[in-house]
Amino acid sequence: MNTKTTFHTIPESAWILGVSRNTVSRAIRTGALRATRCRTGLRVSSAELAKALQDGGAAWTTSS
């Protein structure tokens, strides 16, 4: 069983979610999306991205 977790940069996460980098950064800053600090910046786990895709980003995207 492979339990290795994959982490993505903010631009990669934005591409996967189909939103802007600013939206991902805002979601991390407000706590709606969890990220891990690595040497060169923040990384979002693939599990966290899967959760965001499942709920459609309802908790952190704006509709205005």
- pTM of the complete model beyond 0.85: no
Beta carbons of 10 and 3 less than 8 angstroms apart:
no
Greatest distance between any 2 Cα atoms in the chain: 43
Confidence bin at 1 (pLDDT 50/70/90) = low
What's the confidence (pLDDT) of residue 18?
Answer: 92
What's the confidence (pLDDT) of residue 4?
Answer: 79
Within a 10 A sphere around the Cβ of 1, how many other Cβ atoms?
2
Which positions ≥6 away from 49 have C-beta within 8 Å? 8, 13, 16, 17
pLDDT tens-digit map of 41-60: 999 999 999 999 888 766 66
- In the chain, DSSP finds a helix count (H) and a strand count (E) of 3, 3
Joined together, the tokens standing for residue 34 give 């969890």
Joined together, the tokens standing for residue 53 give 């895709």
pLDDT tens-digit map of 12-32: 999 999 999 999 999 999 999
